[in-house]
Amino acid sequence: MLNASGILGSEADMTHHPALHTRVTEMLGIRYPIIQAGMGFGIATPELVAAVSNAGGLGIFGAMMVPPDEVRAAIASIRTLTDKPFGVNFVIAPPDGHSRNPSSMLDALNRHRSDLGLPASNSLPEIPPSTTAASIDAALEAGARVLSFGLGDPTSYVELAHQRGAKVITMVATVQEAKIAAKAGSDIIAAQGYDAGGHRSNFRYSRLPETPMVGTFALVPQVVDAVDVPVLAAGGVMDGRGLAAALALGAQGVMMGTRFLTAKESGIFPSYRQALFDAVDSSTVVSDAPTGRPARSIRNRLTDDLKSASLPYPAQAIAAIDVYQTARAQDRADLFPLWAGQGLRMAVREQPAAEIVEEIAQQAGEILGALGARH
Ligand X SMILES: Cc1cc2nc3c(=O)[nH]c(=O)nc-3n(C[C@H](O)[C@H](O)[C@H](O)COP(=O)(O)O)c2cc1C
Scanning 164-215, the segments in alpha helix (DSSP H) are: 175-183
Residue 57 engages ligand X in binding (rule: CB under 6 A): no
Cβ distance to ligand X smaller for residue 58 or 106: 58
Instruction: Provide the minimum distance between the beta carbon of 334 and ligand X in the complex, in angstroms, as a whole number.
Output: 17
Site for ligand X in 237-256 (CB under 6 A): 237, 255-256
Residue 88 engages ligand X in binding (rule: CB under 6 A): no
> DSSP strand E in the chain: where?
34-36, 59-62, 86-91, 146-150, 167-172, 188-192, 198-199, 231-234, 253-256, 284-287, 295-298
Among 57, 294, 343, 365, contact with ligand X (rule: CB under 6 A): 343
For residue 67, CA distances in Å to 62, 293, 356, 359, 365 come to 12, 21, 30, 35, 40
Residue 236 engages ligand X in binding (rule: CB under 6 A): yes
**Start-to-end C-alpha separation, the chain:** 19
Cβ distance to ligand X smaller for residue 182 or 256: 256
Instruction: Provide the minimum distance between the beta carbon of 104 and ligand X in the complex, in angstroms, as a whole number.
Output: 26
Residue 50 engages ligand X in binding (rule: CB under 6 A): no
Tally Cβ neighbours within 10 Å of residue 210: 8
Three-class SS state of 148: strand
Residue 171 engages ligand X in binding (rule: CB under 6 A): yes
Cβ distance to ligand X smaller for residue 196 or 364: 196
Among 195, 239, 265, 288, contact with ligand X (rule: CB under 6 A): 195
Residue 327 engages ligand X in binding (rule: CB under 6 A): no
DSSP secondary structure, 275-316, as one string: HHHH--TT-EEEESTTTSS-EEEE--HHHHHTTT--PPTTHH
User: What residues contact residue 211 under an 8 Å CB cut-off, 6+ apart?
Assistant: 200, 202, 286, 294
Q: Rounded to whole angstroms, how far apart are CA atoms 97 and 187?
A: 31
Q: What is the DSSP letter of 24?
A: H
Position with the least CB separation from ligand X: 257
Q: Are 250 and 220 in contact (CB under 8 A)?
A: yes
Number of residues that bind ligand X (CB under 6 A): 30
Stretch that binds ligand X, among 37-45, 104-112, 116-124, 154-162 (CB under 6 A): 37-45
244: left (phi over 0), alpha (psi -120 to 50) or beta: alpha
Instruction: Provide the minimum distance between the beta carbon of 81 and ligand X in the complex, in angstroms, as a whole number.
Output: 20
Beta strands 295-298 and 198-199, pairing class: antiparallel
Instruction: Provide the minimum distance between the beta carbon of 254 and ligand X in the complex, in angstroms, as a whole number.
Output: 8
Please name every residue paired with 87 in a beta bridge, in sequence order, or none if there are none: 60
Residue 155's Cβ-count burial label (10 Å; 0-12, 13-18, 19+) is: middle
Among 45, 53, 89, 135, contact with ligand X (rule: CB under 6 A): 89
Instruction: Provide the minimum distance between the beta carbon of 18 and ligand X in the complex, in angstroms, as a whole number.
Output: 25
| CA-CA-CA-CA torsion sign (371, 34, 294, 286) | positive
Residue 150 engages ligand X in binding (rule: CB under 6 A): yes
Cβ distance to ligand X smaller for residue 102 or 201: 201
Residue 59 engages ligand X in binding (rule: CB under 6 A): no
Instruction: Provide the minimum distance between the beta carbon of 269 and ligand X in the complex, in angstroms, as a whole number.
Output: 12
Residue 233 engages ligand X in binding (rule: CB under 6 A): no
Residue 37 engages ligand X in binding (rule: CB under 6 A): yes
Stretch that binds ligand X, among 46-54, 135-143, 228-236, 275-283 (CB under 6 A): 228-236
Q: Which helix (H) or strand (E) holds 27?
A: helix 23-28
Among 75, 188, 196, 311, contact with ligand X (rule: CB under 6 A): 196
Interacting residues toward ligand X by CB under 6 A: 37-40, 43, 62, 64, 89, 91, 150, 171, 192, 195-199, 234-237, 255-258, 261, 339-341, 343
